[in-house]
Amino acid sequence: MEDIFKISLITFIISTLIQESHTPLSWYGSLIDRLPWYISKPLGSCYKCFTGEVFLWYFIFTKPFDFFELLFFVCAGIFTAMIYHKIYCYLNEYNTD
């Protein structure tokens, strides 16, 4: 369960850095924006797709395969990233910069 919180936070932050302008990873965002949507989304232009992709491969490489555990792991990761997104939007709304 601890893996879910850690990995989803890392993937959300990386995806945010890819999507925002003037960040260390914005060059990568402009690079993958030229790709078709079905390729660019799992590579970082959509935080939910990117999180799901990372969770899928993390599960396949580190855990014994069980379909329902895989489904739960990926869904819990995406759900946690969605919570982080809501918190980010709430904090960004009150940003004074």
**Which residue in this structure is represented by tokens 């590579």?**
43
Q: Taking the model in full, what pTM does it have?
A: 0.87
User: Residue 96: pLDDT above 70?
Assistant: no
Q: What tens digit of pLDDT does each residue of 26-76 get?
A: 999 999 999 999 999 999 999 999 999 999 999 999 999 999 999 999 999
User: Residue 97: pLDDT above 60?
Assistant: no
**Distance of alpha carbon 79 from the chain centroid:** 10
Q: Return the number of other C-beta atoms located less than 10 Å from residue 65's C-beta.
A: 8
Within 13 Å and on the Cβ side, how many CA atoms surround 41? 7
